[in-house]
Chain A
Amino acid sequence: MSARVLVAMSGGVDSSVAAALLCEAGYDVVGVAMRLAPEPPPGIARRRGTCCSHDDFEDARRVAERMDFPFYVVDLREDFSARVIRNFVNEYLDGRTPNPCVMCNREIKFDRLWSRARALGADFVATGHYARIERGAEMRYRLLRAADGSKDQSYFLFTLGQAELARTLFPLGAMTKAEVRVRAREIGLANADKPESQEICFVADGDYARFVEREAPRGRIRPGHVVDSGGQVLAGHAGVHRFTVGQRRGLGIAAGEPLYVREIRPANGEVVVARREDLRCAGLVASRVNLVNPELCRAGAVDVEVKIRYRHPALPATLAMDGRGRAEIRFRSPAPTVTPGQACVFYRGDEVVGGGFIDRAIEG
């Protein structure tokens, strides 16, 4: 009997090719598309290209028909709302900028879906992520960047532990996007040239601020002030959830020089703005840290490269764990803004050492 693998399929080209490759490799493939996002309220149209639409499920179904493996749509809307959307809204209300894709991977794809996989008798969960898993000495698994650096998605996967890595497959890790598209055409997948989804899948119209306002408990949305570093009020605003640290546009102020959000203070509703050079920081503190490879961090401070956003080059830094799941990062040279709420991921070369969620910047 070949190993059974549950493949999370979005209907997009990546997960479709991933499923097809596993099929060809002789795995007992079971395809699932997850229904995650609740229906948008009446009057809000779902944008094309966001996932979870009926068309996407049908694309995934066609792949399954073509490759002749069973396919099911599973309803995980309640879990997604409880574990991802609620966190997204709370983070914004707390003046932070969440990354729901990281939370979805942590809470849904590699937790909730894994329970489902076991229930279905599967040995592995597979996705179309661009990242690699390598089994090292003594059964230790290493999470590595994808071969295609421009597509690398290891940033979104730092929450995986050894137990998850042992039963996860990333069939696209060694491929480039161009190769994946070629394979998609060879296999005859109808979605070979489908554009990639970019938006947050559950914010149907892309207006996340309005989404937060709809979902927030009554009274949690409070107007406040945009102030400068000296506390001088520059403008009013409709709520801290409309801002993100590092943001420049939409501040509602006309100043002589460009100003950026430096800090958000949810307790009193203040959004502090400053000149660009005042945003630079010496380091950061991250919490809820997961160490994919704990061995590497045993010996006090270690040299790593840190990604503070998905589309941001890794910065040389030192990492020190405080023993309570918090990490302190010191950049080799001052870094541009770090945004609380975003994930920061630690690398050594191609290997993901671990990562966490940014709590605050350390000023230089």
Chain B
Amino acid sequence: MTIYLDHNAGAPLRPEVRAAIERFLRDEGANPSSVHRGGQRARRELENARARVARLIGAEPRQMIFTGGGTESNNLAIFGATKAQAARRKIVSSAIEHSSVLAPLSELESQGFQVIRVAPDRDGRIAPERVIAALDRDTALVTLSMANAEVGTLQELAPIGLAAREAGAVFHVDAAQAVGRVRVDVSELGCGLMTLSGHKVGAPAGSGALYVREPAALAPIILGGPHEAGLRAGTQNLLGALAFGAAAEAVEHAFESETARVAARSERMLSRLTDAIPGLRLNGPREGRIANTLNLTFPGVLGESLLIALDLEGVEVSMGSACAAGAVEPSHVLLAMGRSAGEARSSLRLSLGWNTTAEDVERASEIIVRVWRRVAESEPAPRGESVEAIR
């Protein structure tokens, strides 16, 4: 049996989601925009799902736009908000965002926008005052993630929300990794846009949503119909929406017990690994992080090698960074946090989730320690990088 410790890449389907999908497969599919009664039933299902997803972040259902996933939501937020605020030519973000934010920002930069990428501290925290200092009357958009995908650091966003509002800039929060792991409330954060991803909470990939506080702040980037308040044309993916709705409800229902359980197991895993692996280091803050995420620098090994070795032993983890056709580039997040390229290459991300059992944690810890020893012995990583121990 494999042990899946890659929830930040995508959570396995929750049983409630499976049930919703099976229900969908039994019913006749219809287009929620159709006039006939089949269409009306589909519409009702879609709106129920929308309400469930909205509840997850304290939003009104009418403020939720269904999209094809977190990446699309981020693209829509960034391109749509800058398009709607055409007179303003500046964007403030950070150096540790997901590639679905960084790539649109580079694109806009090449079109003449000024992009400020605030650097984090060693734990991946973005100082709110540094973001606020960058705001001015030319700022169209502030875009930041609530929880970092690679290291899990949670950002202090509320002061930024206030300042952005004062400056008249749209504040977009990428909450794809935060939802389901911490309480998320759009009114507390003061954001105008928020990205959600279905498959980070146990729905299939291909389902996402964008919270839009005021439709005027956003221009559509996909044209071709009045769907989703005119902000995202195309017949809705009813299956995806239903699955996302079911996942949202399950997350909401189990929130307290699940987050406490995952935190305890993650803590247990960290302490077992720390005890057995001298020099192991946690990347990201001890407190103030989504507890399921353990980004660890393993002394003396290449992350690539350890990852493959673990996979062959049935433990599935991740490098935490994009890996295109086998070219392992050191994580931009870890580099921005001041790690060396060598340290970044020796790091892996373990992310626990709703289905991680206590037994998984014990077995995985045992395997990781054993495999780390073997890899360190057989294929020592190039030296020259110092790795401090966890304090």
Residues of A within 8 A of B (CB): 4, 30, 33, 35, 54, 57, 70, 72-75, 77-78, 115-116, 118-121
Contacts and interface: CB of A to CB of B under 8 A. Distances in A.
B23 interface: no
Interface of B: 301, 304-306, 308-309, 311-313, 325-328, 374-375, 378-379, 382
Nearest to A35: B326
B379 A116 contact: yes
A361 B164 CA distance: 77
B299 to A, nearest CB: 15
B309 to A, nearest CB: 5
A274 to B, nearest CB: 46
Question: What secondary structure prevails in chain A residues at the interface with B?
Answer: mixed
Given A30-B312, A119-B374, A121-B374, 17 more contacts: A33-B326, A35-B325, A57-B326, A70-B311, A70-B312, A73-B325, A73-B326, A74-B305, A77-B327, A118-B374, A118-B379, A119-B305, A119-B309, A119-B379, A120-B308, A121-B309, A121-B313
23 contacts: A33-B326, A35-B326, A54-B325, A57-B325, A70-B312, A72-B326, A73-B325, A73-B326, A75-B304, A75-B328, A115-B378, A115-B379, A118-B374, A118-B378, A119-B301, A119-B305, A119-B306, A119-B309, A119-B375, A119-B378, A120-B308, A121-B313, A121-B374
Contacts of A118: 374, 378-379
A120 B326 contact: no
Contacts of B374: 118-119, 121
A78 B379 CA distance: 15
Nearest to A33: B326
B146 to A, nearest CB: 31
Nearest to B306: A119
A116 B304 CA distance: 10
Nearest to B380: A115
A13 B304 CA distance: 26
Across the A-B interface, give the 10 residue pairs with the lowest CB-CB distance, nearest first.
A73-B326, A118-B378, A119-B379, A115-B379, A119-B378, A75-B328, A119-B375, A35-B326, A119-B305, A120-B309
A258 to B, nearest CB: 46
A31 to B, nearest CB: 11
Contacts of B301: 119
Nearest to A30: B312
Contact of A120 (B305, B325, B327): B305
Nearest to B301: A119
A166 B301 CA distance: 26
A73 B304 CA distance: 10
Contacts of A121: 309, 312-313, 374
Contacts of A57: 325-326
A34 to B, nearest CB: 8
B221 to A, nearest CB: 29
Contacts of B382: 78
Contacts of A75: 304, 326-328
Contacts of B309: 119-121
Contacts of B375: 119
Contacts of A74: 304-305, 308, 326
A30 B382 CA distance: 24
A77 B327 CA distance: 8
A35 B313 CA distance: 23
A68 to B, nearest CB: 14
Nearest to B313: A121
B134 to A, nearest CB: 32
Contacts of B308: 72, 74, 120
A153 to B, nearest CB: 25
Contacts of B378: 115-116, 118-119
A75 B374 CA distance: 20
Contacts of B328: 75
A4 B308 CA distance: 14
A118 B373 CA distance: 12
Contacts of B306: 119
B349 to A, nearest CB: 17
A7 to B, nearest CB: 14
A74 B302 CA distance: 11
Most chain B CB neighbours (cut-off 10 Å) among A33, A77, A115: A115
Nearest to B375: A119
Contacts of A73: 325-326
A289 B304 CA distance: 34
A115 B375 CA distance: 9
A73 B328 CA distance: 10
B149 to A, nearest CB: 21
Nearest to B325: A54
Contacts of A4: 312
Nearest to A82: B382
Nearest to A32: B308
Contacts of A72: 308, 311, 326
A86 to B, nearest CB: 15
B318 to A, nearest CB: 13
Contacts of A30: 312
Most chain B CB neighbours (cut-off 10 Å) among A30, A54, A119, A121: A119
A10 to B, nearest CB: 13
A77 B311 CA distance: 22
A72 B303 CA distance: 13
B370 to A, nearest CB: 10
Nearest to B307: A72
Contacts of B379: 115-116, 118-119
B316 to A, nearest CB: 12
A35 B327 contact: yes
Nearest to A115: B379
A112 to B, nearest CB: 9
A57 B324 CA distance: 11
A35 to B, nearest CB: 4
Nearest to B326: A73
B190 to A, nearest CB: 42
